[in-house]
Structure 1
């Protein structure tokens, strides 16, 4: 049983935001190499590509993740074309010029939050129903070390910290729909043993389908306890 080969994601549909270059493009190429049908989303694609255009074995589509109408059109297109979405990678992100917090322009604050945090929620809301229907799926939210350590990129770090919190909220609400199996742990160990995890070091990796967070959250919010 292999984790990373040309068939490991065969038959699955992966949607990646911020996918025209950099980390997003690399994610797309890796998922495609594993057999997935990849849908690349980016606001940088030409406006006429709101209808997906095939390129390099993937489908490229213009989508403004901060715009509910654009996201809804994207989700409808994915459903019509494939009838499923197995993987969503929320990678789209922007930043602003460094500035002191007391001087940070509020319009820039709102712009960064619309893309980095609101956009991730909109895409998840639009695509997760197909995962519910299949009773399986993966949502990967790409954050940053700025989520843990403040920088001069004021709004960027705040959005990435918010994205970490949103990820935990997704785990609490959506994670319990999956029942763990031994191969879930086996796959993680195989990943950590492979070159794909070469830049991970000293991390405490919790693999529980969101159980721990959901259990503690329910205990805290139960007035009878």
Structure 2
């Protein structure tokens, strides 16, 4: 996988940073993006400044996404891998109390941002020689199973599954392989509150175990290592002791 080019959204922290580090170890040049330039630059320096390239962009902004991929095309001339990792959660409040701004924020970052990036990746991957590439979407276990008070996040992650299916079908004849990784409780800022207790389906509050994001990164590297005539369409990587399978 040496000399391949990747874009990782939300690449400056948490799962995205772990994925970036793992890809660099496999020889990738990685463009990381997020809203905070200082965070991206710190991540690039911490991993490998010669292999990690920071480009600040809000993926919910269509023009910013176009600029991001314009940078990739100008600097490298091709794109082999897109990891749609960026996302936000919403306040865990009853859905009727959720401000519309929070709904729009989740839809913009989690769903629209992924779609915008896929659009740009498709344009590049169709035009380049050799044609094709790989796209991996971060679906979360919420892509199949909701938590209490998580309507915006859950709805967008269910939508990511539909987007993965549609993009996989549309990309098939262009050698664009599209898959999805559903993550359960990777240790990050987004899941920090789980150690102190989160609401369960029965209304109780219980702490939940988390796993090292490096496990997610290794899974992404495996998915990316496949030739374009093979695809991991869906993969779930989760904390084994978390209350996901069964009734909790």
Query: Normalising to structure 2: TM-score of the pair?
Result: 0.65
Structure with higher RCO (Cα < 8 A, 6+ apart): 2
More helix by share: 1
Q: Determine whether 1:78 maps to 2:72.
A: yes
Aligned length: 177
- Say whether the 8 Å CA contact 1:99–1:154 is kept in structure 2: no
Could you report, residue by residue, the CA deviation over 1:81-106 in whole angstroms, capped at 9, with x for unpaired residues? 00001100000000111111222221
1:68 and 2:62 aligned: yes
1:178 is the counterpart of 2:175: yes
Structure 1: 5+ residue runs without aligned partners? 1-8, 181-194, 198-206, 211-225
Contact 1:78–1:84 (Cα < 8 Å) also in 2: yes
Q: Secondary structure at the match of 1:15?
A: strand
**Cα-to-partner distance string for 1:85-134 (whole Å, 9 max, x where unaligned):** 11000000001111112222211101110010000011111122121123
Match of 1:95 among 79, 89, 95: 89
* Distance in 1 (alpha carbons) for counterparts of 2:230 and 2:119: 22
The structure that has the greater radius of gyration is 1
Within the alignment, does 1:30 sit opposite 2:27 as a pair? no
Runs of 5+ in structure 2 lacking a partner?
Answer: 178-216, 220-228, 233-248
User: Which TM-score applies when normalising by structure 1?
Assistant: 0.71
For the structure 1 residues 35 and 147, does the alpha-carbon distance in structure 2 shift closer, same or farther, using more than 3 Å as the test? same
Whether 1:137 aligns to 2:133 is yes
Q: Aligned partners of 1:35 and 1:14: how far apart in 2? A: 10
Q: Does 1:160 align with 2:161?
A: no
Change (3 A) 1:30 1:209: closer
Greater percentage in strand: 2
In structure 2, distance between residues paired with 1:72 and 1:83: 15
